[in-house]
Structure 1
Amino acid sequence: MSQARDHGVDDRPVRPSGNRVAGAGASARRRAVARLAAGTPVLPVLVVLVVALAVSVDLAGGAGMIWLPLLAAGPALAATTSGPRGVLCVGFLAVALGVTLGVRDGAPGRELTAVLSALVAVTLASVLASALRGRRERVLAAVRSVAETAQHALLKPVPSTVGPFQAAVRYSAAAAEARIGGDLYALIPTPHGVRLIVGDVRGKGLPAVGTAALVLGVFREAAHDEADLLAVVDRIERSLARNLGHDDFVTAVVAGYRRAGQLEVVNCGHAPPLLVSDSGSITTVEPAHPAPPLGLRALTGHTPGLQTLPFDDGDQLLLYTDGVTEARDGDRAFYPLAEGLRRHVSHEPAHTVGALHDELLAHVGGRLHDDAALLLIRKPAVRPAEAQAPRASDPGPVGAATVREERCCS
């Protein structure tokens, strides 16, 4: 059973007074004027006022009609920066000033009509151009949104912690409006330890993006299925051999952390990674037996080898693409990545790759001419309490494995 509650409200209808109605009308007018002012471009209005001032001065001397058509510069300029409403406002202002000045100073009716007709025509054309520009901008925004979605699907964000590693990545596409390109990277935990890949597809544009998507898709599946890292590389090679053309290939470095203190690396024609020890020394991890890029094995007959590197607490590994090391400054000098890493290396991978990326952009003058990717992993020191209680995410020994080649970097 409901009960009525008395809130002390008078049930008699309230009639709005005349002052309130007048105040509401004034408020609505102020809001309309504010919206109109917000949509009116400032620079085109200033252009119209300056032209009107020049016309007014010259009309006094009898030559003002020569400058009156310049009022059309206002709506034409507004079409490049404002929407149709702003263009109409500027055009209306130009026509109003043209009529006022022409009539005030007794301009010939035929000439004034021709000038005003031109102003109206330019304004209407500018409105159309502004509407088309706005439509193209909306389409471009939609395409950018699709590109960003494709980037997140293809190059998934790397978390700051993956298994026992701290990680960070920075990626820049060469095209100014692009979000993705021909460089690829991935860092994933698997039943066989943490595995990662950094690669560079030959070529640019949509074909390179498609190839990068193919490589990453095969890598993510094979990294979970195959216990042997070389088997992962073989899966990628077979897939590319079926799908790539004769002149296409992918350079890549595939790495895995299967056993504590050991990092497995397979280099397929890619730039050698940089190993940073806990003491700060930097070593270039050159492959002992260079292998061809992925997709070209059938032409050369060479197979990649597996390197095992010591990777202890505090060590870091930087993988990158040639867009970093082949970036040139105004004097055509290459960016010295090893020196930059020595300057910016820290215990925070995100800080290190951020500083390297900023320095790289400064080196080339703000714009890269090739895609560039940086991926850095670091093995932090394990606290005593954590060492006594092993985590499930730490990869341990997974069966016996034959190390085909071992090479320690000092």
Structure 2
Amino acid sequence: MIHKRPSASGAVLFCMPVAVMLVVAVADVVAGPGVGLLPLVSLGPAFSGLIGGWRFTALIGTVALMLCIGLGLYDDLFDGRRGFTALVSVAGVTGAGIAAALMRARREVELASVRSIAEVAQRVLLRPVPLTAGALQAAVSYTSAVAEARIGGDLYEVVASPHGTRVIVGDVQGKGLAAVETAAVVLAAFREAAHDEPDLIGLGERLERSVARELEGEKFVTAVLAQIGSDHEAVFLNYGHPAPMLVRRDGRADFPDPPSWAPPLGLGIEGVSGPEPYSVSFVPGEQLLLYTDGVTEARDGDGRFYPLAERVHLLKETGANRALEALREDLAQHAVGPPHDDAAMLLLRYHGHGKGKSAPVD
């Protein structure tokens, strides 16, 4: 286990209760008993209850009580009620600080439990993509917009099927548990159909039926499906999703749009046909990035969207994971504040090696 040293800001916070009591003590000695600063000693245990555990709070409270007694005797305040009132004040604040520290510790335990459940859910829902699939290297990045969450409404999967490597990246309308449930439906349907359906249209129709059974009202899922075989082509089926980015061998970025735009999965607009498959060349030495709109719609301080095409040079890094991590860090630096939407990226590199068994990403 790696133990981290406390940060400078953390050390300052833990020194604050002692510093406050020291300032109060000096001010009381300088100003004299007539000013009535003694009850302010209780600020020490008050601060400690907010930043430390109950033992730390109890220790600071004990020091505060001893300091209060010492100053009270120095100022001759125990001849009347002022000294005892200050003692009661410090003891009461110490008790309240201990209670607050215990409640915070309980919430931290509950939060750790929720995080653990979220991590298990992530491993079940968003399984690690294969490190290699045929002639492809794969890497994935996921950033959730929900505080303390590991998963959200974006989804991805890579399946090495008898019909070629099949990929999906999608974005569920909305956030929270409802979006996670919908993403689970789409991924389960894709994982099964990717092995069974001989063509991409049949795969898309299976997904459409599965989503239509589960979704209610006007909820929908944008998605792009891709199939990469041994013919140096990538075939896409786009359900209202941002166009993928193809990085050519000369470093140029292409965004192949579908011949006609189709509605998202689950929207079921009567009289509107589904998406048409379209293919583009995809040869060894090239890269394919599929992503959600949380990437391209991230804004900087001036309201400018993330210029994905201008950041294509970041994908020159050796290793698919390192390249995608460089892009993710650049995206985080571009955006102002916490992310407003989930952001998923799936990178496929055509390395041109022979087919082999898939290995999970660590």
In the other structure, the counterpart of 1:281 is 252
Structure 2 CA distance for partners of 1:86 and 1:343, relative to 1, 3 Å: closer
Tell me the TM-score normalized by structure 2.
0.90
Within the candidate set 17, 20, 23, 1:44 is matched to: 17
> Larger Rg: 1 or 2?
1
Q: Cα distance, 1:347 vs. partner?
A: 5.2
In the other structure, the counterpart of 1:268 is 239
Using the alignment, how far apart are the partners of 1:44 and 1:300 within structure 2?
A: 69
Using the alignment, how far apart are the partners of 1:392 and 1:47 within structure 2?
A: 65
Using the alignment, how far apart are the partners of 1:192 and 1:392 within structure 2?
A: 15
Which is further off, 268-277 or 361-370? Answer: 361-370
Using the alignment, how far apart are the partners of 2:28 and 2:338 within structure 1?
A: 45
SS at match of 1:324: helix
Q: Cα distance, 1:150 vs. partner?
A: 1.0
Using the alignment, how far apart are the partners of 1:346 and 1:310 within structure 2?
A: 23
In the other structure, the counterpart of 2:45 is 75
Within the candidate set 304, 315, 319, 1:333 is matched to: 304
Q: Which amino acid aligns with 2:347?
A: L
Using the alignment, how far apart are the partners of 1:374 and 1:41 within structure 2?
A: 40
Question: What is the 5 A alignment of 1:369-388?
Answer: 369-382=340-353
Structure 2 CA distance for partners of 1:369 and 1:318, relative to 1, 3 Å: same
SS at match of 1:203: coil
Structure 2 CA distance for partners of 1:276 and 1:99, relative to 1, 3 Å: same
Alpha-carbon contact 2:135-2:352 (below 8 Å) kept: no
Tell me the TM-score normalized by structure 1.
0.80
The yes-or-no answer on 1:323 pairing with 2:294 is yes
Within the candidate set 54, 59, 68, 1:89 is matched to: 59
In the other structure, the counterpart of 2:135 is 164
Q: Cα distance, 1:176 vs. partner?
A: 2.8
Which is further off, 349-358 or 137-146? Answer: 349-358
Using the alignment, how far apart are the partners of 1:153 and 1:63 within structure 2?
A: 67
The yes-or-no answer on 1:56 pairing with 2:29 is yes
Using the alignment, how far apart are the partners of 1:159 and 1:348 within structure 2?
A: 14
SS at match of 1:368: coil
Using the alignment, how far apart are the partners of 1:234 and 1:117 within structure 2?
A: 73
For structure 2, which runs of at least 5 residues remain unmatched after alignment? 1-10
Using the alignment, how far apart are the partners of 1:143 and 1:343 within structure 2?
A: 35
Percent identity of paired positions between Structure 1 and Structure 2: 47
Using the alignment, how far apart are the partners of 1:58 and 1:301 within structure 2?
A: 83
For structure 1, which runs of at least 5 residues remain unmatched after alignment? 1-37, 395-410
Alpha-carbon contact 1:164-1:393 (below 8 Å) kept: no
Within the candidate set 85, 89, 111, 1:118 is matched to: 89
Q: Which has the higher contact order (CA 8 A, sep 6+)?
A: 2
Aligned-pair Cα RMSD in Å: 2.0
Q: Cα distance, 1:298 vs. partner?
A: 4.5
1:176-233 superposed Cα distances (whole Å, 9 cap, x missing partner): 3221111111112122221110001111111111111110111111112222221111
Alpha-carbon contact 2:219-2:266 (below 8 Å) kept: yes
Question: What is the 5 A alignment of 1:175-254?
Answer: 175-254=146-225
SS at match of 1:259: coil
Which is further off, 157-166 or 221-230? Answer: 157-166
SS at match of 1:297: coil
Within the candidate set 73, 83, 94, 1:103 is matched to: 73
Q: Which amino acid aligns with 2:203?
A: V
Alpha-carbon contact 2:153-2:174 (below 8 Å) kept: yes
Using the alignment, how far apart are the partners of 2:317 and 2:65 within structure 1?
A: 64
Alpha-carbon contact 2:314-2:323 (below 8 Å) kept: no
Structure 2 CA distance for partners of 1:343 and 1:120, relative to 1, 3 Å: closer
